[in-house]
Amino acid sequence: MSFREKSAWLMGALMLGAGAYYLTMAFAVWGETGSAAPPLALFIPFTLLVVIASVAGQTTLALLTPREANAPADEREKPLLDRAGHWSGLMLAAGTVTSLLYFFDHQNGVLLFHTIMGSLIVSQLADYALQIALIRRAS
């Protein structure tokens, strides 16, 4: 398994866990108050969780395989990573446009923030899943 694939597995699992945390917290506040949570109340802990866990995870992965970690992506991996980024970018664009259309109807800026944040989380998950699938298919 290449370093890029290991990294995608790690970051995919991290983003899945962090996304579940964000969703759980957002629904908990919505259940208590009946309205969407203020963006900063969820965004700051989510961001800290993702940054700290990804730095710790990537550092650990690099320490376990230092030679692979320092190697640049090879000519086989570069187009696969670009393709995964392209498709996940389209997913982010679709989620953002859908969120904006929903906002035009409901005029709720807090909900707009959360739906775009959800689109970002889903597109990142798709990016990592596509990286894994494309790298495995090419092997």
The 10s digit of each residue's pLDDT in 79-115 is: 999 999 999 999 999 999 999 999 999 888 888 988 9
Q: Which of 97, 94, 75, 88 is nearest to 133 (CA)?
A: 88
pTM here? 0.87
Give residue 39's domain range.
Answer: 3-138
pLDDT at 125: 96
Residue 38 pLDDT > 80: no
Structure confidence by residue, pLDDT tens digits, 57-85: 999 999 998 888 888 878 888 899 999 99
Domain count across the chain: 1
